[in-house]
Amino acid sequence: MVTTHEEQWSTSTSVVFEDTAPADEIAGLRSENLRLRRALRGRAVTERAQGMVMALMPCSRDRAQDLLSDMAGRCGLKVREVALALVSTSEGRPLSLRMQGELARAVQRQSQEDIA
C-alpha cells in the first residue's frame, strides 16, 4: 500500500491530538511552571544575599541562611523579602532603619554564638 504525505500527516496529527492532556491539566502545568519560575528567581536572590552575608561575616552558607531567617522572623517578612532588600543595597537602595537594626542584631547574635 502506498501512503501519501498528506495521509501520513493526517495520521500523525490525529495521534498527537488524541494523546494531549485535557485543558485543566494544561492549565495546571502552566500554573506549576509559573510557580517554579518564581521559586527559582526567589532562590537566586536568596543565594545572592547569602553570598553577601558570607563575605561580610565570614561564615558558612548555613550560617548565612540562619541569619537571613532570623532577620525575616524578627521583621515579620519572608526570607525572600529580606534577601531582596539586602541584594538591593548593592544597587544603591538602602535598607530600612528597622532592617538595618535587625541586621546588626542578627550579626551580633551570630557572633555571640560563635564565641559560645
Q: What is the pLDDT of residues 46-98, one digit of tens each?
A: 999 999 999 988 889 999 999 999 999 999 999 999 999 999 999 999 999 99
Which pLDDT value is given to residue 2?
A: 53
CA nearest to 102, candidates 19, 87, 76, 88: 76
Whether 8 shows a pLDDT value over 60: the answer reads no
pLDDT-based confidence at residue 6 (cuts at 50, 70, 90): low
Spell out the residues 6+ positions from residue 66 whose beta carbon is closer than 8 angstroms to its own.
110
pTM for this structure? 0.65
Of 115 and 78, the structure prediction assigns the larger pLDDT to 78
Q: What is the pLDDT of residues 10-41, one digit of tens each?
A: 555 544 555 556 888 888 888 888 888 887 77
